[in-house]
A and B are shown apart, each in its own frame.
Chain A
């Protein structure tokens, strides 16, 4: 079965997943949607993305003590809270 892609210039596409469907069937339309968004702007003319993912800002670290890999992604352009929260004030349970 194939996913049905409904696409018009004015509306957002809809992917209807029939059952069973082919693995990875959403990959191409979603990647295309990402590409379209990168080239388009908001109604007010501003870019949609605040900043872009950059694989060059990822650092894979092999932690020798435990013999495992960790990953550190550095994402500039996104600021933190101005007022940090003391650890003891962090809720211990879901709201």
Chain B
């Protein structure tokens, strides 16, 4: 299981934020806590924002970047508190830059939501268990598990049922989630082969340019959202053809990083559970 670590031998920025005399402490937007929580969470602004209202919920203390059922619930409750205009994301250890528990939020603009609304991406192998719909996004999108329902506790149990399997198998995962106007929550989760950072300059290079064998932080790809973050200026001219090439290369990068082999744990075993049984104690072998 991943532990709390400081990035690249630097002090952990999210631990530093808890110290009143630190520079990062000046980036705190507010503290927040839920009714049943005794410890306040920190909402930090992203000083290198690449989305509207780009902020980050950080738990106090030294917390590893690992989801639990209660952390999933907390993330979704904060999504509800921010409202349906916002989305949250979670990058597990191995994909996150900092291994201190944090959940970024920003205005809801990831194209995956639009694709779902316009039914360009659909839900395949859909099942409904205890009023929660789960399945997978269709194959014209990056592989992503899909969960939707209004019963928050039940949804969190079902999401964690799969998260725990990914954690046990050391599979990196990225998640996006929203609260919807109708009172339902949606959680998307993509298993990844690695924390692949693509060399995004390549997206803009002419047709026929060999794919580079190097990666760096000149950009980032967000799955399952379908966002490419390019850390350089928008070129003056982007022809329609160049946009299609960008998208084609982006799609290839998404495919390279996603794990299509992992199989979610059996739901038959999940259904065998009673309310008195902890899913921590169930082995799905």
Interface residues of A (CB under 8 A from B): 3, 12-19, 21, 23-27, 29-31, 33-34, 37, 42-43, 48-53, 55-61, 63-76, 78-81, 83-88, 90-95
Contacts and interface: CB of A to CB of B under 8 A. Distances in A.
B111 A69 contact: yes
B94 A51 contact: no
B33 A80 contact: no
- Judged by DSSP, the binding face of B is loop
A53 B111 CA distance: 18
Contacts of B229: 73, 75
B228 A68 contact: no
A67 B213 contact: no
Contacts of A68: 111, 115, 120-121, 140-141, 226
A69 B140 CA distance: 11
A30 B53 contact: yes
A71 B226 contact: yes
Interface in B43-68: 43, 45, 47-55
A73 B214 contact: no
Contacts of A13: 30-31
Interface of B: 2-3, 5, 23, 26-36, 40, 43, 45, 47-55, 77-78, 80-86, 92-95, 99, 109-111, 114-115, 120-121, 140-141, 170, 172, 179, 183, 193-197, 199, 203, 212-219, 225-234, 238, 243-244, 246-248, 250-251
A93 B251 CA distance: 22
A53 B179 contact: no
Nearest to A65: B248
Contact of B114 (A50, A56, A69, A81): A69
Given A15-B32, A48-B45, A78-B50, 6 more contacts: A61-B244, A61-B246, A70-B111, A72-B246, A87-B214, A91-B195
B99 A95 contact: yes
Nearest to B2: A94
5 closest A-B pairs by CB:
A24-B83, A94-B94, A80-B218, A84-B214, A63-B247
25 contacts: A15-B32, A15-B33, A17-B34, A23-B80, A23-B81, A23-B83, A26-B32, A33-B43, A48-B27, A49-B47, A53-B54, A58-B109, A63-B244, A64-B244, A67-B120, A68-B121, A69-B226, A71-B111, A73-B51, A73-B230, A81-B218, A91-B194, A93-B170, A94-B2, A95-B3
A42 B26 contact: yes
Nearest to B53: A34
Nearest to B219: A80
A24 B82 contact: yes
